[in-house]
């Protein structure tokens, strides 16, 4: 067995903390912190996933009113030991060019586009953790034969859990966190096809 590089050794007995991610230049680009453990995205990026994340980011940027920022692949500090990286984040924090993360109370919508290697985390772990951190809206995008299916959740604040609002397949129209209308089938289709 090969020894782990020094940078992969936790800096303390309790493991990793959220602020440690900013001091790991050797870590893979999409490194998350879940329950104090580093999670690396090591699988090759699939075209469908990348195209969908880009299209969602652009579509939401075009519809976002003043006071909302849309970022892709930006970590969110949920607490001292959790800093996941949603595929798309809609936040109310003003743009800062050196930002490396958002605080949970700045995030209004977290979107995860499910990949085979992230399916369990996206469907269960992140669903629970984002709700516990009081992020008001969560979308989980699944690949289906006909195109993307967006599972939309809203936070039930008294229980700190998400309730499903619906599954959208062709068109998504939502009033929150701001008025959004998306033609889902066009998100991964190339123009002219």
> Can you read off the two tokens belonging to residue 130?
């984002």
pLDDT of 67 = 97
pLDDT of residue 30: 80
Contact 123, 115 (CB under 8 A): no
* Integer Cα distance of 133 and 105 in angstroms: 8
Kindly state the average pLDDT of the residues 90-111.
96
Cα–Cα distance measured from residue 151 to residue 119, given in angstroms and rounded to the nearest whole number: 13
pTM of the model: 0.89
Evaluate if residue 191 carries a pLDDT over 70: no
Per the model's pLDDT, the better-predicted residue between 26 and 161 turns out to be 161
The CATH architecture assigned to 47-186 reads: Alpha-Beta Complex (3.90)
Among positive and negative, which fits the CA dihedral 7, 9, 11, 15?
positive
Q: How far apart are CA 168 and CA 141, in angstroms?
A: 9
Identify the pLDDT of residue 141. 97
Choose among 98, 76, 77, 78: nearest CA to 89: 76
With a cut of 60, say whether residue 192 has pLDDT above it. no
Q: What angle do CA 169, 174, 180 make, to 5 degrees?
A: 95
The residue among 8 and 147 whose pLDDT is bigger is 147
Tokens of 114: 């499910």
Lowest mean pLDDT among 1-5, 9-13, 38-42: 1-5
Instruction: Output 86 or 33, whichever has higher pLDDT.
Output: 86
Residue pLDDT, tens place only, 143-183: 998 889 999 999 999 999 999 999 999 999 999 999 999 99
Q: Tens digit of pLDDT for each residue in 32-76?
A: 878 887 887 766 678 888 999 999 999 999 999 999 999 999 999
Q: Considering only CA atoms, which of 79, 70, 81 is closest in space to residue 108? A: 70
Degrees, nearest 5: CA angle 61-65-67: 100
pLDDT tens string 118-131: 899 899 999 999 99
For the chain, the structural domain boundaries read 47-186
Cα distance between residue 137 and residue 163, in whole Å = 10
34: phi then psi, degrees, rounded to nearest 5? -125, 115
Higher pLDDT, 166 or 193: 166
């Amino acid at each position: 067995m090969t020894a782990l590089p020094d940078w992969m050794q936790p800096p303390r007995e309790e493991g990793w903390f959220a602020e440690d991610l900013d001091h790991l230049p050797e870590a893979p680009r999409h490194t998350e912190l879940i329950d104090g453990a580093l999670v690396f995205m090591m699988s090759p990026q699939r075209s469908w996933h990348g195209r969908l994340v880009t299209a969602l980011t652009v579509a939401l940027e075009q519809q976002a009113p003043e006071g909302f920022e849309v970022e892709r692949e930006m970590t969110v500090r949920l607490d001292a030991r959790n800093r996941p990286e949603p595929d798309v984040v809609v936040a109310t924090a003003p743009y800062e060019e050196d930002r490396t993360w958002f605080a949970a109370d700045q995030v209004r919508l977290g979107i995860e586009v499910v990949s085979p290697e992230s399916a369990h985390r996206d469907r269960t772990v992140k669903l629970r953790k984002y709700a516990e951190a009081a992020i008001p809206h969560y979308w989980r995008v699944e690949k289906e034969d006909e195109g993307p299916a967006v599972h939309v959740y809203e936070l039930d604040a008294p229980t700190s859990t998400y309730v499903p609002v619906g599954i959208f397949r062709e068109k998504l129209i939502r009033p929150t966190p701001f008025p959004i209308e998306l033609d889902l089938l066009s998100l991964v289709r190339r123009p002219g096809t």
